[in-house]
Amino acid sequence: MSKIIVLMGAPGAGKGTQARLLEERMGLSHISTGDMFREMKRAETPLGERLRDIMSSGALVPDDLTIRLVEERTGQDDCRNGYILDGFPRTTAQAEMLERLAASRGHRLVAVFVDVPFDIIEKRVTGRRTCPVCGEIYNVYFKPPARDEVCDLHPETRLNRRADDNAETIKARLATYEQETRPLLDYYERTGRLRRVDGTRDSEAIYADIEKAVNGE
Ligand code: ADP
């Protein structure tokens, strides 16, 4: 049966890095609602402007919009044999919608919680930098580029800092996570579909655990 792999964890837990590895090695499509919204907010439209406001405050995009987006994206051909969700679901309404979607398309869901303590999360998020050319992710504390603020592979390009990776917004994003998203862990646990992995180790070790959790089903 095809699988939906739901990556859960606080902002900065490393979901994006793991989703990229899973996509590359398992050949499943990676759906990141955060990336989709970041793309959409660039538009000079009322919707773009609204998304800029919401995301810079660290709040969640409303469920109706988020749900519509995911419904449409996961209905595309490349998702027929399963997919990886990164950053969705984040609320009870989103989780309920995903159950209906999975059932109607015959997909089984496994939720993987990438567990990282709060103090590490803070450094990871404030230190995060990305190359705008290749998407490589760095961290000034844990995985610095060879030269400050430029990509190792694209030395002519300055690394980006995500607009919502500043101290104020991070605090709000973590609070939103605790309040809205953490309870979903209990829900997946109660229904026997939660796997926990220790997210403090290097990404290959975490990947190995995720692979086991997903295939050992
Ligand atoms: P994070 O590092 O906070 O996990 P993401 O890249 O997943 O970041 O998301 C960035 C922002 O996009 C969130 O703070 C939120 O405003 C919006 N967003 C992403 N996914 C969702 C979702 N499933 N529901 C509502 N808002 C979302």
| Beta strand extents in 25-165 (DSSP E only) | 29-32, 82-86, 108-115, 128-130, 137-139
Calculate how far, in angstroms, residue 59's C-alpha sits from the geometric centre of ligand 1: 8
Contact 78, 71 (CB under 8 A): no
**pLDDT tens for the chain, residues 1 to 217:** 689 999 999 998 999 999 999 999 999 999 999 999 999 999 999 999 999 999 999 999 999 999 999 999 999 999 999 999 999 999 999 999 999 999 999 999 999 999 999 889 988 888 999 999 999 989 999 899 999 999 999 999 999 998 888 888 888 999 999 999 999 999 999 999 999 999 999 999 999 999 999 988 5
Tokens matching residue 141: 């504390």
Active site residue 105: no
Between the alpha carbon of residue 164 and those of residues 50, 52, 62, the distances in Å are 15, 10, 17
Q: In the block, which residue shows the tokens 């792999």?
A: 5
Q: What is the pLDDT of residue 165?
A: 82
Calculate how far, in angstroms, residue 176's C-alpha sits from the geometric centre of ligand 1: 10
Strand duo 194-198 + 108-115: pairing: parallel
Calculate how far, in angstroms, residue 1's C-alpha sits from the geometric centre of ligand 1: 29
Q: What is the pLDDT of residue 141?
A: 92
Tokens matching residue 202: 């290097």
Contact 99, 193 (CB under 8 A): no
Length of the chain: 217
Active site residue 15: yes
pTM > 0.75: yes
Q: Which of 30, 31, 36, 37 to mutate to test the pocket of ligand 1 (most atoms within 8 A of CB)?
A: 37
Whose CA is closest to atom 6 on ligand 1?
34
Active site residue 171: no
Active site residue 128: yes
Q: What angle, rounded to 10 degrees, do the helices at 33-40 and 46-57 form?
A: 130
